[in-house]
Every structure is written in structure tokens, then in C-alpha cells.
Amino acid sequence: MSHPVKLVVTDDLQRTRASVFFRIVLAIPHFIWLTVWGIAVFFVVIANGLITLFKGRSPDAVHQFLSEYARYYVHVQAYLYLIADRYPGFSGHLGYPIDVRFAASAPQNRWTVFFRLVLAIPALVVIAVLVNGYNQAGSLLGTVAVLGWFSSLVCARMPRGMRDAGAYALSYQAQLLAYLFVLTDRYPNSDPLAALDDLPARDDDPIRLQVDDDLRRSRLTTFFRLLLAVPHLIWLTLWGIVALLAAIVAWFAALFTTQVPDGLHRFLAGYLRYQTHVTAYLFLIANPFPGFSGEAGSYPVELVVGPREAHNRWSVFFRGLLALPVLLIAGAYGTLLVAVAVLGWFAALVRGEMPLGLRNAGALAIRYSEQVNAYVLFVTPRYPYSGPTAAPQPSSEPTPFLPPDPSTAVTAGA
């Protein structure tokens, strides 16, 4: 069942340089209007909560008023963070390139209305990582905005991956606002695959993530997960030291021959696969205890590493500099992964199952981090793609884990 709050993206990625350069100044009138309107919204939200508590649903007029404010809030956010380019209107009406559709007012569970603020705490943790952060630059949205600002100034275009990553954050923001405003009792969905329509498939990416996880989590291993991962973390550190030395050799090889030797490529690919297994285990994106060899096809969250490719010498020489932006985004995704693990830990302990949205958000973070690592370690010359990618919903019908079969495994784009 689709979420009653849906982000609609019609943005064409084009950006006007002058508007981008002055973006924060141009947004000032919207900040003022947002604040003034927000004061009224504060009291209306309280009234809406009380009414919904007694009547079981939000009155239509109130629902529309609050929906328009939430939509306007998302418009302004999208404009400010360069997820859209057009100057937004002040009414919160439909028609903006990053828009939000709200389903009509529907009956709500009174218990969830009464405990709404408490129930919203996990979602507030996620939104802190996606949108707010400790400081704006630390959040996913803030990071893509800063990097997108430079990119838009140079290319007059926002990279698709960054735009989609930001849109994913805004989708969650819209759903959280609707939940806090008591417009719906549907909990915000952190699943990046469900956040946006028309995600690119990117089947030709040399570094992809295969997710065959069935969402089931053993409560016992979940409880001790951090400690159970310690032997793997020790082994990963030792392997990582050798991998770093191997990457230095690969740098020279790629610089002089444009190719990384096949043996070296396979060694580094094995390291990345093992790192993926351990990360997925530690952060509860998968359930079984991984092996220590990084063997391909041995784990339900698997990194598919393509064959070696020719590198561009300039790109190899400046790899450290070129990697800086993606390392920043990887840092933001890393914070998301930690939040997913902490929330997932509680969820898995209670339900014996990882929520699909959290799992897929974590899988997205892992995929991106591994693409960055593969780029930094010269396993691939391809620049990491920062947005979510399309994939079949892998685990809507839980199935027991079997060793992945390359012929049947799906590619989860998260």
C-alpha cells in the first residue's frame, strides 16, 4: 500500500547559475513567511491533534491548511537545498517541480494520535541525519546542497544522483511533517526505493549491491551484534592494511599502464566484498554471521564487482582530490547507517525482524560507501552514484536465506 504522502519530482535538473549563486539570499522572504505561517500552524496542529483524538479523523479544512503548509515547507527546502530551481510560490499549492501530494483526510488510530510525539522519536532521529544533522553540512541534504552548489555553478545542472538523494530526504521530511501534524497515522517510510518514482536502474554499474536478505533477525545475535562483529573488525583491519598497500601498487600500475593487474583487482575486490559483509552484519542490514574470506555469493548482502576496466591516467593521478566530494557524501551516508543500526537494533529485538525501510536505507548507504571505496582503491574508474537506484522490492515476501544464486538473485538498487 503506497504512502498517503508522496513526493512528486518533475525537476529537469537544469539550474540557473545566478539563482544558484544567490540561493540563500533569495530564500529569505520565504523564511519570513514560513515563520509567520508557522506560528499559526503551531496552534492549528494542537487543535488538530485534539479534534482527531476525539473524532478519529482530521477535519477537511484543517487537513488542507496543514497540508499546504507542509507542502510549502518542502518547496522552500527544495529550493534552498538546490533540489529544485524554480522560485517557489508562497501559497503551498501544487505545481512545483518538487511537490508533495497528500491523500484526503482518513480515519486515524487514536492511540497513535495520543502518543504521536513519543512515537515520532525514531523518525526524528532519521530526519536529523537526512535533513538537519548537528550542523547543516553534516546531513545528507546539506552535503548534497553544498556539493550541488559548486556543480550547478560550473555545469548549470544538478547531478541526478545528488538531486535524488536530496529528494529522498525531502520525501521523508514531508511524511514526517504529515505525521507530526496529525494529517495521517502512517509512519514515515525511510525506504529510498519507495520514496521516488522513476529511479534509474543503472544495471551497468561495475559496483552493485545484491540484497537477498529476508528481513528476519535473530534476537540473540542482534542483542550481541556489536560484540559478535569484533573478531571480524580485527580481521578487517588487518586485511585493510594490506589492501591499502595493494592500492598504492594499483595506483602506480594504473598510472603507467591504465590497468590494475588482474590479481590485484581480484584481491581488492575480495576485500571490498568482505567489508560489505561485515558492514552489513554489524549494522543489521543482514542477519547471518559472515565468513572471513569475502567469498563471492556467500552472503545475503553481496557486493557485485565488475571486471577490471581501463583507467584514465589523469583521473588516477588526481584520485585523492576527485574523491573528496564523494567522501563527504559517504560520511553523510555513514551517519545514516549508524542511525539505521541503532533504530534497527531496537526494532529487531522487539519484532525479530528488520523494518524494510530501514534495511533498504542501510543498503543504500553501504552500496554508496562501497562504490566510494572501490573508486578510491582503483577497483573501478567509475564515479560513485550518490542517489538511490531502482530495484524490485526484494523482501516484501520474506523468504529464508539461501546462499545467493547468481542466476536468480535480484539487484537491489538501494
Partner 1 sequence: MSDEPRRARDGSGRRRPLVAVALAAGALLWALAARALWQSTVPGGLRLPHADPRATFSADFLGRSASYERFLAIDALLGTIVLVAVLVIYARRGQRLMKESAAGPIGTGMLLGMLGLGIVWLAELPFDLAALWWERRHDVVHVGYVKHVLDGFLGLSGPFVAISFALLIAMWLARKLRSWWWVAAAPFFVALALLLSFVAPYLLTVDSEPLDKHSGSAQTAADARALARAEGVPDTPVYVDLVQDQPNAGAAGFGPTRRVIVRDSLLSGFDRREVRVVLAHEFGHLRHRHTLKAVGWLALFLLPAAGVVALATRRRGGLARPEAVPVALLAFVAFGIATQPLLAATTRRLETEADWTALQTTRDPAGARALFRDLGTATLTDPDPPAWRSLLGDHPTLMRRIELTRAWEARAGGPGAG
Smallest gap from residue 218 Cβ to partner 1 (A): 5
Q: What is the dihedral of CA 150, 337, 386, 190, to 10 degrees?
A: -100
Using CB under 8 A, count the residues that bind partner 1.
23
Smallest gap from residue 206 Cβ to partner 1 (A): 24
Smallest gap from residue 245 Cβ to partner 1 (A): 24
Restricting to residues 336-365, which ones interact with partner 1 according to CB under 8 A? none
Smallest gap from residue 327 Cβ to partner 1 (A): 29
Give whichever of 85 and 213 is closer to partner 1, judged by the CB atom: 213
Residue 86's contacts (CB-CB under 8 Å, 6 or more residues apart) are 79, 96, 97
Q: Which of 338, 387, 331 is nearest to 138 (CA)?
A: 331
Smallest gap from residue 276 Cβ to partner 1 (A): 13
Q: Is 296 in the site for partner 1 (CB under 8 A)?
A: no
Give whichever of 121 and 227 is closer to partner 1, judged by the CB atom: 227
In this chain, which stretch among 27-35, 177-185, 229-237, 318-326 interacts with partner 1, using CB under 8 A?
229-237
Give whichever of 150 and 224 is closer to partner 1, judged by the CB atom: 224
Smallest gap from residue 252 Cβ to partner 1 (A): 35
Whether the CB-CB separation of 11 and 98 falls below 8 Å is answered with yes
Q: Is 238 in the site for partner 1 (CB under 8 A)?
A: no
Separation between Cα atoms, residue 330 and residue 344, nearest integer Å: 20
Smallest gap from residue 220 Cβ to partner 1 (A): 6
Whether the CB-CB separation of 389 and 201 falls below 8 Å is answered with yes
- Using CB under 8 A, pick the residue from 299, 368, 378, 385 that binds partner 1: 299
Smallest gap from residue 231 Cβ to partner 1 (A): 4
Query: Do the bridges between strand 207-211 and strand 301-305 make them parallel or antiparallel, or are there none, so unpaired?
Result: antiparallel
Q: Is 234 in the site for partner 1 (CB under 8 A)?
A: yes
Q: Which of 35, 356, 77 is nearest to 217 (CA)?
A: 356
Q: How large is the C-alpha radius of gyration of the chain?
A: 22
- Using CB under 8 A, pick the residue from 227, 321, 324, 350 that binds partner 1: 227
Q: What are the distances in angstroms from CA 281 to CA 113, 275, 337, 345, 355?
A: 35, 10, 12, 12, 15
Q: How many residues does the chain have?
A: 414
Binding mask 247-286 for partner 1 (x = CB under 8 A): ------------------------------x---------
In this chain, which stretch among 12-20, 126-134, 192-200, 214-222 interacts with partner 1, using CB under 8 A?
214-222
Q: Is 220 in the site for partner 1 (CB under 8 A)?
A: yes
Q: Is 406 in the site for partner 1 (CB under 8 A)?
A: no
Q: How many C-beta neighbours within 10 Å does residue 274 have?
A: 25
Q: Which of 163, 207, 125 is nearest to 378 (CA)?
A: 207
Separation between Cα atoms, residue 40 and residue 48, nearest integer Å: 12
In this chain, which stretch among 197-205, 249-257, 297-305, 306-314 interacts with partner 1, using CB under 8 A?
297-305
Whether the CB-CB separation of 26 and 20 falls below 8 Å is answered with no
Separation between Cα atoms, residue 266 and residue 64, nearest integer Å: 57
**Collapsing DSSP states into helix, strand and coil, what is residue 97?**
coil
Q: What are the distances in angstroms from CA 42 to CA 48, 70, 112, 131?
A: 10, 12, 19, 21
Give the DSSP H/E element, type plus range, for residue 115. Answer: none
The grid cell for 214 is 529476508
CB-based burial, 154-175: b 16+ in 10 Å, e otherwise: eeeebbebbbbbbbbbbbbbbb
Q: Is 95 in the site for partner 1 (CB under 8 A)?
A: no
Restricting to residues 382-401, which ones interact with partner 1 according to CB under 8 A? 401
- Using CB under 8 A, pick the residue from 19, 132, 218, 258 that binds partner 1: 218
- Using CB under 8 A, pick the residue from 8, 103, 137, 228 that binds partner 1: 228
Q: What is the DSSP string of 298-332?
A: -SSEEEEEPPP-PPPHHHHHTHHHHHHHHHHHHHH
In this chain, which stretch among 9-17, 97-105, 223-231, 317-325 interacts with partner 1, using CB under 8 A?
223-231
Give whichever of 85 and 214 is closer to partner 1, judged by the CB atom: 214
- Using CB under 8 A, pick the residue from 298, 317, 349, 410 that binds partner 1: 298
Smallest gap from residue 230 Cβ to partner 1 (A): 5
- Using CB under 8 A, pick the residue from 33, 37, 292, 317 that binds partner 1: 292
Summarize as ranges the residues that interact with partner 1 (CB under 8 A).
Answer: 218, 220-221, 223-224, 227-228, 230-231, 234, 277, 287-293, 298-300, 401, 403
